[in-house]
Homo-oligomer: A and B are copies of this chain.
């Protein structure tokens, strides 16, 4: 581990002001670590839905063209004018990609915390993780227990902290139960496990009977299947039974958020003691944290006046929660990385493999379930 590489391959996404997406692998400097820094050899980095915006820039993938060589493939594609207009801040600037990953610390700065990580496997929330090597501040690294692999550490942050963040948000905003959509996802399964461990009532919303079964198999008490005729009534009953007036919605578009608020209102009215002309006084909140359905959100507003909808992102949540709470959540992930927070993947690919047309098409179409893992050393 003593031969510190001076450069390494890195996946880059460039959008030109002429409206072209260019994906490539670039040889990039690996800076030697400062006192509080370490160099991580990246072993695995997932392609999360939250990486796709930066990676693909809303390109029209039907226009994508393969180029370059087998070792250094490239992909180019057109960006439609509408999305292009919103990308002003990143035009003509080559951007590294990859929110999180796992790897081994192969060099460390002189500082005590840095030295303590030498040789350890770490999970990293560092950006630019689709790289062979990353020089990182120690605080971007989460040390794994002995024996945990880079692959097991790869998804330590985005899904686990998002799931934990939902439960913490519930506590911070004085709710006592949660509704979650696209609930059979990797993240949804983590959330169900957390809620079981922490005794938090959780209402899972899924779209298919087999997803309902998957959640019941890991202990879910409340699963509402939107493909069933009884969905509205099921959801209302589950909310009335659990008092779950805070929802996290991964889909964003269409009428689901409105349906949830309407069911919450019906549950609140059913359990209220008197008529209020402006609807129930129970505050009802939906946070949209994903955009699986990119169509407009439609709100029918038949749910009184005590309601809110908003965007929810992990980073602002962690800033709001503060350093101590965030550290406690991270440590829980490290402690339960093989159980509560275990992830599964559709497959593992190399950096060059990530820049193949067929791969692009697959993960651009991914719904909630399976995701790919990039192994930069493969």
Q: Within the assembled complex, what's the spacing in Å between the Cα atoms of A288 and B261?
A: 15
Q: Within the assembled complex, what's the spacing in Å between the Cα atoms of A302 and B301?
A: 21
Q: Are A278 and B313 in contact (CB under 8 A)?
A: yes
In the complex, A308 has a CB within 8 A of chain B: yes
Choose, from A176-184, A209-217, A269-277, the stretch at the interface.
A269-277
Q: Within the assembled complex, what's the spacing in Å between the Cα atoms of A93 and B291?
A: 45
Report which of B277, B302, B308, B311 forms a contact with A304, defined as CB distance below 8 A.
Answer: B311
Nearest Cβ in chain B — how far from A343, in angstroms? 22
Q: Are B308 and A307 in contact (CB under 8 A)?
A: no
Q: Within the assembled complex, what's the spacing in Å between the Cα atoms of A281 and B276?
A: 37
Nearest Cβ in chain B — how far from A307, in angstroms? 5
Q: Are A309 and B309 in contact (CB under 8 A)?
A: yes
In the complex, A111 has a CB within 8 A of chain B: no
Q: Which residue of B lies closest to A57 (CB)?
A: B277
In the complex, A258 has a CB within 8 A of chain B: yes
> What does the 1/0 interface line of A243-274 toward B look like (CB < 8 Å)?
00000000011000010000000000100101
In the complex, A322 has a CB within 8 A of chain B: no
Nearest Cβ in chain B — how far from A335, in angstroms? 29
Interface residues of A (CB under 8 A from B): 53-54, 86, 88-90, 93, 252-253, 258, 269, 272, 274-278, 281, 288, 291, 294, 296-302, 304-313, 316
Q: Are A89 and B275 in contact (CB under 8 A)?
A: yes
Further pairs besides A291-B301, A308-B310: 16, Cβ < 8 Å: A53-B278, A88-B269, A89-B269, A90-B275, A90-B277, A252-B301, A296-B299, A296-B300, A297-B299, A297-B301, A298-B298, A298-B299, A299-B299, A306-B311, A306-B316, A310-B310
Q: Which 6 pairs of residues, A with B, have the shortest CB-CB distance?
A: A89-B275, A308-B310, A305-B311, A297-B299, A90-B275, A54-B277
Copies of this protein, total: 2
Q: Within the assembled complex, what's the spacing in Å between the Cα atoms of A116 and B53?
A: 66
Which chain B residues lie closer than 8 Å to A291 at the CB level?
301
Nearest Cβ in chain B — how far from A327, in angstroms? 22
Q: Are A296 and B301 in contact (CB under 8 A)?
A: yes
Nearest Cβ in chain B — how far from A219, in angstroms? 31
Q: Which residue of B lies closest to A291 (CB)?
A: B301
Q: Are A305 and B313 in contact (CB under 8 A)?
A: yes
Which chain B residues lie closer than 8 Å to A275 at the CB level?
88-90, 93
